[in-house]
């Protein structure tokens, strides 16, 4: 009898953990940007050499998130400073907690760290960020995937 209760408790505990994982994914925690969702659109606005950093360059990118859209998991070759221009963005970088960022707020992405969640928090209003990338000569602006 005691053994049956222990087995039942273990089964319920495991089921609860799986349910919590699914709920977390529904709330935007480390979920995939699947093909059913609209995609964020990035546009390079400017790219300049950094004269005091041989081979260095800065790239300014505007990213527009239509309502309900997301960006696939990605990382960057260099450091990135992002600034929310309009709307509200949900973001998760590396193993950090999910952040919800409003206009005027900013974030930092270290080189090579996966940006696992980047999505518009609204299904009705667009959002926009400006991202400033500081890159070495051969570093890529964006590399898609979890690596």
For the cut 70, the answer to whether the pLDDT of residue 9 exceeds it is: no
Cα–Cα distance measured from residue 135 to residue 61, given in angstroms and rounded to the nearest whole number: 13
- Per the listing, tokens 């999910």 go with 98
Tell whether the torsion through CA atoms of 61, 72, 123 and 107 is positive or negative: negative
More confident residue, 27 or 80: 80
Mean pLDDT in residue range 33-55: 94
Does the predicted TM-score (pTM) go above 0.95?
no
């Amino acid at each position: 009898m005691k053994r049956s209760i222990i087995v039942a408790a273990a089964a319920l505990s495991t089921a609860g953990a799986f349910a919590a994982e699914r709920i977390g994914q529904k709330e935007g925690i480390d979920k995939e940007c699947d093909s059913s969702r609209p995609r964020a659109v990035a546009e390079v606005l400017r790219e300049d050499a950094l004269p005091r950093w041989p081979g260095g360059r800065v790239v300014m990118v505007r990213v527009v998130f239509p309502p309900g859209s997301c960006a696939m998991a990605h990382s960057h070759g260099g450091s990135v400073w992002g600034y929310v221009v309009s709307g509200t963005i949900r973001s998760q970088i590396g193993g950090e907690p999910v952040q919800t960022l409003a206009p005027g707020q900013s974030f930092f992405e270290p080189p090579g760290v996966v940006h696992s969640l980047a999505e518009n928090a609204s299904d009705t209003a667009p959002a926009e960020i400006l991202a400033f990338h500081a890159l070495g000569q051969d570093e890529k602006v964006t590399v898609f995937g979890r690596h």
